[in-house]
Chain A
């Protein structure tokens, strides 16, 4: 460190000498470059003033005492800046530590909340979930029942970031603990509502759409706790319909009841589930309307479900001023036979 300082002091003196003699732009440019390397080498402002004093004394031994005193005065004035700079360095180190801790937490979240897209004959499933920040506040989960049914939970925690992610683990483990005979959509939402109401901060809440697909009867049972409505694609008519549901978000009042609905799914029909990150997409100042999302889905409808959801996300990502403000999750199931 002292060596670097000595070397820098020498460079500084030489540059200053040249500048005083020639007043050339080149010296000014070089000292600017040198100041960048001072910062890199952690040389504090008062040390630079000190270099300046030494250079002055060596170059102009007969300099008036007044100027020398004034330089010492300046030296004192710079000391607080030096301390502030050191604090800044420490904060930068702390920040990078935190960043790596968060990324550990994010990968742990992925492990904890991991779910595998099940392979079920006769239905094609596509899912994409992209977090807006490091940790995802959206959540989806597949549960394969012994009776061949498929349970699909799609949820969004409000409150973003780390608290939201932690909250999701709670939801997942509550769901895992339910015995299979109470896996009806309304029973699940009823009991999750109590879990959330008891355990979560009042300004945080969770929306969830829970669907159960019965492949043998080609029926979909579902209930919603204030979740962004999904869509049903009727292949015979080539139309989309919003899936209308009633039901309060989880965690607001303990005694909420969730009505359950049922619909028939015909060949090539699709069920689309999403989070508000999809419908709240923006292109600059413009909101992307849900009609536009559906048009894009229709455009890619000839593809297998997984490719379809990937292409839909890519489509929005390509928009010029696209900005992902919220976590984006899109799931599509299609009945194949």
Chain B
């Protein structure tokens, strides 16, 4: 299975468009793209998960390290357009309460 990672740069903001599956095999690629973006102070990283239909716990690990990195580097991360199946993982693990997650555009039920 594959994951495509496409980063669009705007002023003080990076949009990370993901498509495919995030698992143990594809997670390193995500980590490599995502973590450096969170290291710029004042930067906003918006991760679009609309095209991600599967994520396992390895993927969650990447988002947790990214979250920790935003706190250390005074940057921000927001996850948008999360599909239900993926959102469920964030809810079970309690991460939806400490991460900025917006599922309202499509796919989310709440």
Contacts and interface: CB of A to CB of B under 8 A. Distances in A.
Nearest to A248: B94
A249 B94 contact: yes
A205 B95 CA distance: 12
Nearest to B94: A248
B57 interface: yes
Given A203-B31, A203-B62, A252 B57 contact: no
Nearest to B58: A158
B68 interface: yes
B60 A205 contact: yes
B56 interface: yes
A202 B58 contact: no
Given A160-B58, A204-B61, A205-B61, A247 B94 contact: yes
Given A160-B24, A280-B56, A226 B95 contact: yes
Interface residues on B, range: 20 to 34
Most buried by B among A159, A202, A325: A202
A37 B64 CA distance: 53
Contacts of B67: 252
Given A202-B68, A253-B98, A228 B58 contact: no
A141 interface: no
Interface residues of A, number: 25
B92 A252 contact: no
B93 interface: yes
B60 to A, nearest CB: 7
Contacts of B97: 248
Nearest to A137: B57
B74 interface: no
A86 to B, nearest CB: 31
Contacts of A227: 92
A158 B61 contact: yes
B75 to A, nearest CB: 15
B93 A203 contact: no
Given A202-B64, A203-B31, A159 B92 contact: no
Given A202-B68, A252-B98, A158 B92 contact: no
A48 B59 CA distance: 50
Contacts of B58: 158-160
B78 interface: no
Nearest to B96: A248
Interface in A42-63: none
Nearest to A256: B94
Contact of A249 (B31, B69, B95): B95
B41 interface: no
A321 B97 CA distance: 36
A207 interface: yes
A246 interface: yes
A246 B64 CA distance: 18
A156 B60 CA distance: 13
A227 B57 CA distance: 11
Given A203-B62, A205-B60, A229-B92, 20 more contacts: A158-B60, A202-B64, A202-B68, A203-B31, A203-B64, A204-B61, A205-B64, A225-B94, A226-B92, A226-B93, A227-B92, A246-B94, A247-B94, A248-B94, A249-B95, A252-B95, A253-B98, A276-B57, A325-B23, A325-B56
30 contacts: A156-B57, A160-B24, A160-B58, A202-B64, A202-B65, A203-B64, A203-B65, A205-B60, A207-B93, A225-B94, A226-B93, A229-B92, A246-B94, A247-B94, A248-B93, A248-B94, A248-B95, A248-B97, A248-B98, A249-B60, A249-B64, A249-B94, A249-B95, A252-B64, A252-B95, A253-B98, A280-B56, A287-B85, A325-B23, A326-B56
